[in-house]
Structure 1
Amino acid sequence: MRGIELRYVLTHHLLHHGTCSIAELAAELDSRGFCVQGRPSKAISDALRWEREHGRVFRRGRGRYGPARVPRSTEYRIHRRVMALRAQATGDGAAGAATGDGAADQGSR
């Protein structure tokens, strides 16, 4: 997992659980069945840097991040995408197709 998918999963977790450390976020990804390429701590901090620049996440200290204010439409889009990714990770591909978050949807961005 990388790119927008990783950013959305991390942002979604922070929005629902509050401030977390990089290690806690890595453990959450692992518990959900997501695999991060390379060194997880670096991939997570790089993804959250992008989210910080766009105002969705704040840095709360060394290696700790928390949620910022996110528009409802953006939060809804993130939520739908994360639910589809979770369904794919558990092997339930039909749920991802039912939400319309498939490969065809990615091409429109």
Structure 2
Amino acid sequence: MTTIRGTALRYVLTYVLARNGRMTVAELVAALSRLDFSVPGRPSKTVSDALRWEVGRGRVYPRGRGVYEPGEIPRGTEYRIEKRVEALREQARILNG
């Protein structure tokens, strides 16, 4: 597994939410694992902290305790996120064999 943090983590979480709709933090952590990514520290806290930034930008909306859904993402930002996530997944595939 490849450990991600910061902008990379935020982008992957936003990407997953945009593709899957409303998800809990536990579901997001599981989705990260399926994509061969891990996060440092306590996963639920790390994910929640990363999503706080995206909530502030309107790209993610909180819907109750530990539940998030996708918000409005400008097309240019969405394109940048998709390309970054694709590159991260390719890098993870190479590193994890």
Shorter chain as normaliser: what TM range?
over 0.9
Structure 1 counterpart of 2:36, from 13, 33, 44: 33
**By how many angstroms is 1:6 displaced?**
0.2
Q: 1:1-109 maps to which residues of 2 (within 5 A)? A: 1-91=4-94
Q: Which structure ranks higher in relative contact order (CA pairs < 8 Å, sequence separation ≥ 6)?
A: 2
Q: Per-residue displacement from partner, 1:35-83 (whole Å, max 9, x unpaired)?
A: 1000110000000001000110000111000000110000000000000
Q: Percent identity?
A: 57
Unmatched runs of 5 consecutive residues or more in structure 1: 93-109
> Normalization by structure 1: what TM-score?
0.82
SS in 1 for 2:37: coil
CA RMSD of aligned residues (A): 0.9
How far 1:86 sits from its partner (Å)? 0.5
Give the letter aligned to residue 47 of structure 2: I
The TM-score with structure 2 as length reference comes to: 0.92
Larger radius of gyration: 1
